Structure 1
Amino acid sequence: MRAILILVAILVVVTAFAGCTSSTSATPSYSVDKNGILAVTCAPVTTNETVLFSNETYTKSRVVLHTQTGDVITYLSYPEQPKAVIVYIPGAGEKISGHEERMVKYAATGYAFIFVDIRGRGGETGGDAFDPQTDYARFESGNWPQYYLTICDISSARSVLASRFGVPVYAVGGSNGGRYAAVAAGVDPKFAGYVGISTADWGLREMVLGQGGSGDILRFATSLEPSTYLPGISPRPVWMFHNATDPIIPFAEGKALFATANAPKTFIEFYGSHGINADVDNRILMQWAQIYGTRG
């Protein structure tokens, strides 16, 4: 939080950005409109897959997304014929090892699950830890902020799996990952819906406003906030899960983000602490059983 406050103080006095890169169908590009809404044209990716395990219930593999700006590591589990796909964006400190049972459970119920090790988390994918100040400098110079590259990575994962399985793909994320997933679902209309767990806005936009910021710094800060995109996810569904005593992201902040979404939307209080857990899994699967039925 202290780093973000320092960022705001610095950025508000930075010379205004002269303009966004133009968008064409042939060239990877991004733009941010006057309301702070991001649009991206993502570079195509290629993939390399290594099967790690397979039985009658599911197959687990390591899938590398080869992008023009570096490799992004993912882990995929899937049954033979999935009913839908979850593109899962983890929060800080989440490792793939903590999702082994979850991947089996979703596959056994009929869903594919891909864990995206996003840039800068300190995992297998390279990149810098999320730093709005550094990303704003890139934005100011017309280069790609890492945040925007991550949105393209998430969208690319959706595209790869939609083509492979031919079923709906949902953007799902916990904590910080829920923030990225919300932006991705808003930017990419081909996501079937959004699930946010223990998440809320970053608070950057409010901080910039509180420092008297306007123009391009405000536009950039707004482009990072989940609430900028939640209203536009409709008519696709939004589900949000939060614990009333969450010690990391307050319950009230989660409710405030949820309030910005349009119908259809569902807010569910779950048992636990912070982030995805078995209770959240059960509640997601109960919700989706009403859509896709139970596995026969």
Structure 2
Amino acid sequence: MKKNKKIKSRNHQTFSQHIGLRNIAVGMGIVLILTGIIGILHNLNFSEYWHVSDEGMLSYNLPQKADYSITEINKTESGHTLKSLVFTSRDNVIHALMRFPSSSEKVPGVVVLPGAGVTKEEQQAMVSAITDMGYASITIDQRNLGVVDPETDLSLFENGKEPVEYLMVYDALMAAEVLRDQKEVDPANIAMLGISNGGRFAIIATAIDPKIKGVVAISTSGYNTALINRSMVEENTYIFYRSIDPDTYIATISPRRVVMFHAFNDTIIPYSMAEKTFKLAMEPKAMYAINGSTHGYSNYTKEELEKELEIIFEQMN
């Protein structure tokens, strides 16, 4: 991340009259040394885990080990095993539910990221359908329940601090790591699935972690930040807004699969926005246009979702 620093100096002639040209050179040398030290400390404090390129591409040092605790295990009426747990993700504790089918073999797993304001419990109808398909899953309560505040995050970014939206992406990456660690799960077969805001985080997380096999994005889109005139805004503003836009990342997911579901008459995120994001994705990809105005998962698309998850987990095996 680049920061512009302005250094105020005294008038050269007045300053040299007091301390001499030699002292100026010594003083400037000290300033340069101190500036370098501050820069190194800044990178250690704020860039040890994450980095954003000049083009707005977020990257993370991916988690190596999941720190989590199972708090409760139950059987559902449908025969699924439901595990409640908490896991540590950067500076926070994330609450999650894992659901497993009845199987004697390791099964693929899906990280489920609900939409803004939706809890992990409220997402279980769809998750139960995924379990019936034969897949394990982890569904998380996102920070702020997936609600974002771009202006506050921009301020954090400009001050060298980690924006909350970045942390939400990291939470998804850590959830994948937790799922990989389960004895019931094939660690090489993990996919992301997100709804609305959760779909945005799912796309970015899939782009960052090459181990993720593919992504399903439901009722979501990018922000079309490519239309921002870079020369007309502050550089950090441009970089930040590009960094939170799935449109910036989606092409890099290939050759892994991108799948999108979107209702023609979605009143929250227009279909046209989803269509623009989908066009940016490279093959292999698929988009399902749904009749009606449903925002979120529809049980009418269960068959298509099952087909697409099967394709995602079969590819590149």
Counterpart check, 1:108 vs 2:132: yes
Alpha-carbon contact 1:83-1:292 (below 8 Å) kept? no
Q: What is the correspondence of 1:114-263 to structure 2 with a 5 Å cutoff?
A: 114-121=138-145, 129-164=147-182, 165-167=185-187, 168-203=189-224, 206=227, 208-209=228-229, 212-263=232-283
Match of 2:21 in 1: none
Query: Is contact 1:17-1:140 (8 Å) kept?
Result: no
Measured after TM superposition, the shift of residue 280 of structure 1 is: 3.0
Maintained 8 Å contact 2:83/2:98: yes
* Structure 2 SS opposite 1:285: helix
CA distance in 2, matches of 1:154, 1:95: 15
Report the secondary structure of 1:121's partner residue: helix
Once the two structures are superposed, residues 232-279 of structure 1 have per-residue CA deviations (whole angstroms, 9 ceiling, x without a partner) of 000000001111111111111100000000000001112451111212
- Note if 1:64 corresponds to 2:82: no
Per-residue CA distance 1:203-245 (angstroms, 9 max, x = gap)? 4564x53892142211111000001110000000000111111
- Once the two structures are superposed, what CA deviation does each residue of 1:19-54 show, in whole Å capped at 9, x if it has no partner? 896489xx8421111111111125654101123422
Q: Calculate the TM-score normalised by the size of structure 2.
A: 0.77
Give the structure 2 partner of residue 54 of structure 1.
75
Q: How many residues align?
A: 270
Q: Is the 8 A contact 2:223 2:247 kept in 1?
A: no
Partners of 1:249 and 1:200 lie apart in 2 by: 7
Aligned partners of 2:138 and 2:179 also within 8 Å: no
What amino acid does structure 2 have at the position aligned with 1:70? N
Distance 1:244 1:144 in 2: 36
More helix by share: 2
State the structure with more CA Rg: 2
Taking the aligned partners of 2:110 and 2:269, their CA distance within structure 1 comes to 23
Is this contact kept in 2: 1:235–1:264, CA < 8 A? yes
Query: What's the counterpart of residue 109 of structure 2?
Result: 85
Question: In the alignment, residue 149 of structure 1 is paired with which amino acid?
Answer: L
Q: Which segment is superposed worse, 226-235 or 167-176? A: 167-176
Q: Determine the C-alpha separation between the residues in 2 that align with 1:138 and 1:292.
A: 38
Q: Which deviates further from its counterpart, 219-228 or 107-116?
A: 107-116
List runs of 5+ in structure 1 lacking aligned partners: 1-14, 123-128
More deviation, 95-104/272-281: 95-104
Deviations 1:110-141 (A, max 9, x none): 1012211111128xxxxxx4111211222122
After superposition, the CA RMSD in angstroms is 2.7
Give yes or no for the alignment of 1:275 onto 2:261: no
Taking the aligned partners of 2:171 and 2:89, their CA distance within structure 1 comes to 8
- Conserved 8 A contact 1:234-1:263: yes
CA distance in 2, matches of 1:282, 1:62: 28
- d(CA) in 1 for partners of 2:312, 2:167: 32
Q: Partner of 1:72: helix, strand, or coil?
A: strand
User: 1:270 and 1:17 mapped to 2: Cα distance?
Assistant: 47
Give the aligned partner of residue 6 of structure 1. none
Give the TM-score normalised by the residue count of structure 1: 0.82
Gaps of 5+ in 2: 6-38
Label 1:187 to 1:290 Cα distance change in 2 as closer, same or farther (>3 A): closer
The code of the aligned residue for 2:157 comes to F
**Comparing 184-193 with 59-68, which one deviates more in the overlay?**
59-68
